Amino acid sequence: MENKEIELEFSIKSGAPEKQRTACVVVGVFESRKLSAPAIDIDRASDGYLSDILRGGDMEGKAGSTLLLHKVPNILADRILLVGLGKEREFHEKAYCDAIASAVKTLRDTGSMEAAITLSEIPVRKRDVTWNVEQAVISAHAALYRFDHLKSKPNETRRPLKRVIFAVSRRGELKYGEVGLAHGLAIARGIGLAKDLGNTPSNICTPEYLAGQAQKLAKAYGFRSEILDYAACDKLGMGSFLSVGKGSDKPPRFIVLKHEGGAKGEKPVVLVGKAVTFDAGGISLKPPAEMDEMNYDMSGGGAVIGTFRAIGELGLPLNVVGLIPACENMPDANANKPGDIVTSMSGQTIEILNTDAEGRLILCDALTYAERFAPEAVIDLATLTGACVIALGAHPSALYSNHDPLAREIEHAADHAWDRVWRMPLWDDYQEQLKSSLADMANIGGRPAGSITAACFLSRFAKKYHWAHLDIAGTAYQGGREKGSTGRPVSLLVHFLLNRAQK
C-alpha cells in the first residue's frame, strides 16, 4: 500500500490580477492593513472594496491570518483570498513560505479547485523570481502533504485543489519563473518520497522494503542499482555495519544507486545516508518515551532516495552515487554488547561502549566503500546524535567537513534552498575523547560535545577524499503528537548538485 502522491497542476502567468478568470485570486496584506501591490490593483478595480473591508476591522494583516471574500465588484474571479503577511520590514524567507502555506491550506479547506496566487510577486529581500516560485511550489506541496493511507478511513477533501497559477510581475520574468517551477516540482516530489519513506512504520519499512523502493526508483528513472545482502557485505569485510543488525530478524541491505548523467570517467559525488529502519538502542536500550519515533532513524537513507528522485526528474548532467546501509538495531542474544570489539571494512577496530551509538558503526563502512568510486566529494547525512538536537534544535542541520571549500559550497546551497546548516568544529582536540585502551578507537567519546565526537569518529574513515557530514537528528522529522518526516535535507542536496552541474 502506497501513499497517494499529490496531484496538483502548477503554471506561471503574468497579467493583471483583477482580470484573472479563476475560482480564487490570492493577494497579500501587510500589517497594519497595508495592501501588497497586487492587492492594490484589485482594490483599484473594485472601487476601494478591499480598503473598506480592512477599515472595518475584518483583517489587520497579521502573519497567518486569512479572509475569504465573495463577489468582489468588477473582479472576474469568483473569490478573493486575503492572506496576512505580517510586518513588511520583517517579511523575509520564513514569512514568505508561511504565507504560501496559509494560502494553500485555506484554499484546500474552502473547496477551491483552482487559484491564482500573487504572493509570488512580492519581493523577498536578496531573492529573485526563480527562488520565489521554487519555494512557493515546495511550500504548497508541504501544505497539502498527508500521510493517512494507513488509516481505515483516510481524510477526503470534498473538492480538492487541482490547479494553481503563480503570478509574476512582468512577462520578461516568465522564463525565470519556469526554471523555479521545474526545480520546485522536482524537489517537492523528492521531499514527498523522503517523507513517505520516513513516515512508513518499521513493520513495513524494513531494510528489504527500502531496498525494493530504491530498485523501483532506479527502474523508473534509469539509474543503476545494486543491493548487497549479508553475504556480500561480509565478503567485503563490513564487520562494523553487519554487527549492528545482529540482534534483528530483519536482514541488512546495503543499497547502491548510480546516476550516470555526467561524462564517462567523471568523478562522482557520493551521497551516504544512514538507514536504521528501527533503532531500539540494542542492548543499551532506549527509554520507552518517544521510542515510537525511532522508525525515523532511516531518514538519512530516505533523503538520499528522495534526492535521487529529484535528480531523475531534472536529468542532471552529473555522476552521482547513493550509498544506503540499511538495518535494524534490536536487542537479543546475538546483538552487540557493550565492550564488544568489531573490525571495520577499513581494518580499524572499534570498541563498542554504547550500542545505541550505532549510526556511526554503519556509516564508517559505507564511507570506506565510497573510496572505490574515487569521488569528487562525499556527503553523509544521518540522524546521528541527540546531542545535535540539544545544541541546535530543529532549525539548522549540523555541518562538519574536512575541506573548507566543500563546506562553503554546502553552506551556499543550504542558504539558497532555505534548508539551512550551521558549521561545527572538527578539531583534533576532540579526537582524544575517542581513545580506547583495547581497540583503535571507541564508538563514543562521553557526554561532552557528543555531536562533534561522532563526526570526529566518522572523519577517521574519510581521509582519502573531500568529505562533509550532516547531522540531521533535529531537522529530519518532528516528534510529539504531530510527528512526521520533514524530508530534509533533500532541497539542500539538490541545490548542491544543481550548482555542481552548472560549473
CATH of the domain at 39: 3.40.220.10
The rounded Cα 486 to chain-centroid distance in angstroms is 6
Q: What is the 3-state secondary structure (H, E, C) of 372-421?
A: HHCCCEEEEEECCCHHHHHHHCCCCEEEEECCHHHHHHHHHHHHHHCCCE
What is the structure's pLDDT at 481? 86
Based on the domain organization, do 154 and 203 belong to the same domain? no
CA dihedral 181, 183, 184, 190 (to 10 degrees): 140
For residue 384, being part of any structural domain is answered with: yes
For residue 483, being part of any structural domain is answered with: yes
Q: State how many domains the chain has.
A: 2
Residue pLDDT, tens place only, 102-111: 999 999 999 8
For residue 2, being part of any structural domain is answered with: no
Task: Based on the residue annotation, tell me whether 125 is a catalytic residue of this protein.
Answer: no
For residue 387, being part of any structural domain is answered with: yes
What is the structure's pLDDT at 503? 77
Based on the domain organization, do 302 and 155 belong to the same domain? no
For residue 290, being part of any structural domain is answered with: yes
Based on the domain organization, do 138 and 262 belong to the same domain? no
Based on the domain organization, do 441 and 479 belong to the same domain? yes
Based on the domain organization, do 22 and 138 belong to the same domain? yes
Based on the domain organization, do 371 and 256 belong to the same domain? yes
Based on the domain organization, do 102 and 226 belong to the same domain? no
Based on the domain organization, do 443 and 475 belong to the same domain? yes
Based on the domain organization, do 478 and 403 belong to the same domain? yes
Domain limit, last residue, from 123, 138, 172? 172
Based on the domain organization, do 261 and 321 belong to the same domain? yes
Among the listed residues 286, 423, 464, 483, the single catalytic one is 286
For residue 280, being part of any structural domain is answered with: yes
Count the neighbouring beta carbons within 10 Å of the beta carbon of residue 402.
Answer: 18
The rounded distance, in Å, linking the Cα atoms of 135 and 307 is 17
Based on the domain organization, do 352 and 479 belong to the same domain? yes
Domain limit, last residue, from 115, 141, 172? 172
Based on the domain organization, do 162 and 196 belong to the same domain? no
In the DSSP assignment, the letter for residue 7 is -
CATH number at 354 reads 3.40.630.10
The rounded distance, in Å, linking the Cα atoms of 461 and 363 is 9
Residue pLDDT, tens place only, 14-65: 989 999 999 999 999 999 899 999 999 999 999 999 999 999 999 999 999 9
Q: Reduce the DSSP state of residue 206 to 3 states and report it.
A: coil
Contact yes or no for 277/207 (Cβ under 8 A): yes
Q: Reduce the DSSP state of residue 249 to 3 states and report it.
A: coil
Q: For residue 44, with 0-12 CB atoms within 10 Å meaning exposed, 13-18 middle and 19 or more buried, which class applies?
A: middle
Among the listed residues 246, 274, 309, 360, the single catalytic one is 360
For residue 183, being part of any structural domain is answered with: no
Beta-carbon contacts of residue 127 (< 8 Å; ≥ 6 apart): 93
What is the structure's pLDDT at 82? 98
Task: Based on the residue annotation, tell me whether 286 is a catalytic residue of this protein.
Answer: yes
Domain limit, last residue, from 122, 138, 172? 172
Looking at this protein, which amino acid is placed at residue 116?
A
Place of cell 478595480: 45
Domain housing 331:
192-501
Q: Give the start-end residues of each E strand in 175-297.
A: 224-228, 253-260, 269-273, 275-279
Give average pLDDT by consecutive 10-residue segment, the chain, 503 residues. Answer: 76 92 96 95 96 94 96 95 96 97 95 94 95 98 93 76 93 96 98 98 98 98 98 98 98 98 96 98 95 98 98 97 98 98 98 98 98 98 98 98 98 98 98 98 97 98 98 96 96 98 87
Q: For residue 155, with 0-12 CB atoms within 10 Å meaning exposed, 13-18 middle and 19 or more buried, which class applies?
A: exposed
For residue 4, being part of any structural domain is answered with: no
Contact yes or no for 135/184 (Cβ under 8 A): yes
Q: Which of 231, 497, 233 is nearest to 361 (CA)?
A: 233
